[in-house]
Amino acid sequence: MSGQECTEDRRVIACNYIEGTNVAALGAKAYVIPQLGGNLPERVRILARSRGGRWVEKWESVRRLSHFRIVTLPPEHPRYADARLWDCEVGESDVRRLEWAREEMAGR
């Protein structure tokens, strides 16, 4: 985000782990990070809450993630100013694209 102080809510895409890993526990929350390149539908870039409580940026298989949804972050939210998250408006089409990618991988 820019150096200006923002007062508007920020909309980002969140999801949850449906399979634990060495970094994130089952059910851990993650935020989708905009990606250039990558292997959608196989992998998606995320900011995940680690087992130790830190936020870790990593690439993850969409097979391990589910419940993609848009969430609203108000300015007082701890992740609001995180430059790794979407800096543009997200919509339901972005969520549907991620769900489609997950379904595509489940069929393989």
Please give the full DSSP string across 23-76, using - where no structure is assigned: SS-TT-EEEEPP-SSS-TTTEEEEEEE-TTS-EEEEEEEGGGEEEEEEEEE-TT
The residue among 24, 26, 3, 28 whose CA lies nearest residue 15 is 28
- This prediction's pTM: 0.81
| Between 86 and 104, residue with greater pLDDT | 104
- Please list the residues that pair with 14 across neighbouring strands: 31, 69
Domain boundaries, the chain: 10-106
What is the pLDDT confidence band of residue 29, given thresholds at 50, 70 and 90?
very high
Percent of residues, the chain, with pLDDT higher than 70: 84
The token pair that represents 55 in the structure block: 């936020």
